[in-house]
Amino acid sequence: MTAKPLVLAAVAALVAAPLQARANDDVLKRIADPAGQVIQTLDYANTRFSRLDQINAGNVGGLKVAWTFSTGVLRGHEGSPLVVDGVMYVHTPFPNVVYALDLDHDGRILWKYEPTQERDVAGIMCCDLVYRGLAYAEGMVFLAQADTTVVALDARTGTVRWKVRNGDPKKGESNTATVMPVKDKLIVGIAGAEFGARGHISAYNIKDGTLAWRAYSTGPDSEMLLDPERTTELGRPVGRDSSLKSWQGEQWKIGGGAPWGWFAYDPKLNLVYYGSANPGTWNPSQRPGDNKWAMTIFARDADTGVARWLYQMTPHDQWDYDGVNEMILTDQPVDGRTRPLLTHFDRNGFAYTLDRETGELLVAAKFDPSVNWATGIDMDKASPAYGRPILDPRFGTEAEGEDVTYSGICPAAIGAKNQQPAAFSPQTGLFYVPASRLCMDYEPFHVDYMAGQPYVGATLTMYPAPGSEGQTGSVIAWDNVKGRVVWSVPERFSVWSGALATAGGVVFYGTLEGWLKAVDAETGKELYRFKTPSGIVGNVMTYEHRGRQYVAVLSGVGGWAGIGLAAGLTDPNAGSGAGDAYAALSSYTALGGQLTVFALPDGP
């Protein structure tokens, strides 16, 4: 496969947008230098593509461990370190410790910040005590704690510049997501849909932590920051009270839709993109209607928070297919002209390509062949059902009501892909997607809402998809314009690590058993593997220090896939169905919390 120079140039322009584009100048300047990393997604476009190429497809097989660091904390280590001006910033799961490490001295600790949080917070975190990482801007490191406290730390000293509480754990609100600095604001999400928490996204002023705006996922237009005439879905105005009309009574107040995933930003359009989670209670019989705007992609003005457009992927969700996975922004040729695209790999097993300026749906195709809950997405623009899934009634979960087991649904609630971010290489024009291949049995039951208590209402059993031969994971290379898989690498377990693509023609990822792997970006051929001390659910990153390129990854098994092992669960149905599905994982790895840094032995 040959490089695609037009795609490469377009993406480079998007990633390194000019300062006059009004994004955060400090962040843009540092993103333009591939030696460091200041946000979890590497760039505002969420490409997770590094322009470093000292480590390449020809020499990656010679990687050796350069140094390691123990975090001192167990449970799932998601996200990745940051590197700024010769200092690496490392985070842990709850209790969300932050370390600043001196790269001139193989990771000597410069300072440590350990927040004080109530232990009760751990009890309201749905799927392990994970945290997806820090962000940096203007001399500050930003931490969003599990208890929803957002903290700005002085990058040199670790002292607190400001802090603010973004939610209320007593209502079931918590945090697992990173934050994103955009212009003079910090974009912050929240978790808690499994507790009936009403999702919201907030923008805080970076200077002092004051609230600039907040937009809810459900409810009145004024609280959602929707303009009924100008905010559109698939080119059509959403109309007045679009959310209220899609819920029964006041169910929207406990409607979920928490944005606990990733954010993207287009400086040219000045739009922030993200997805909202499942609606409150997994039992669909208890919440008639489309349940807008859970399971939705949002495009919001960064200054005001007002939604430009949105798109609900899974109306009236019956399967817990959260829509929070990352939005990846690229400029690519479509039908003979370059268009601003947004690509999203959803838990529901469909990959969506939209025009990120208008919200027009261009491609919607299955990236997991086992998907059966829907036969496809209606792509007829003249149809009233345009953009809606074409459901297969055999795999709905409310046809016979509650306390009935619905079997053979694919994918499982854990998704054909969960939160672990994909990567895009402008050299190949391909997306590299960490994926799962699991199906489920789903038994909904009646549940009453009580603030701060689980509001789930379903029991799940998950198992390998038909035809997977017991291998429940893969990394796939995806063409987002043609909507097809180019190649696929199977894995024993779901791939819960974020992928990293590099200018060296290499794609890195980690496995639940603990292997760091490198494959050829064009073919998927394995080029390197190394067994780290614990399962990898973190996101691989790379940086350059004193002229030498390094690759680093956090290992520490956990997350939803590893919750059974991380939390010592013994009930086969525990961990929202993950306990039994990943029971064999304990034969391959154990708990841990370690950073492993790699380099070529003969580097500069």
Catalytic residue list: 320
Quickly list DSSP for 97-132. -EEEEEGGGTTEEEEEE-----GGGGGG-TT-S---
Structure tokens at 365: 């195709």
Type of residue at 58: G
Q: What is the distance, to the nearest Å, from the Cα of residue 536 to the centroid of all Cα atoms in its chain?
A: 15
Lateral strand order in the sheet of 541-545: 64-70, 594-599, 548-555, 541-545
> Measuring CA to CA, which residue among 175, 133, 172 is closest to residue 260?
175
DSSP classification of residue 558:
-
Cβ atoms of 202 and 167 closer than 8 Å: no
The burial class, CB within 10 Å (0-12 / 13-18 / 19+), for 193 is: buried
Q: How far apart are CA 498 and CA 509, in angstroms?
A: 6
Q: What is the DSSP letter of 483?
A: T
Please name the amino acid found at residue 558.
Answer: G
Tell me if 350 sits within 8 A of 410, measured CB to CB.
Answer: no
Bridge partners, residue 458, by sequence? 444
- Dihedral of alpha carbons 73, 110, 533, 463, sign: positive
Give the tokens for residue 274: 């993200």
Between the CA of residue 115 and those of 97, 145, 158, what are the distances in Å? 7, 8, 11
* Two tokens, residue 222: 């004024």
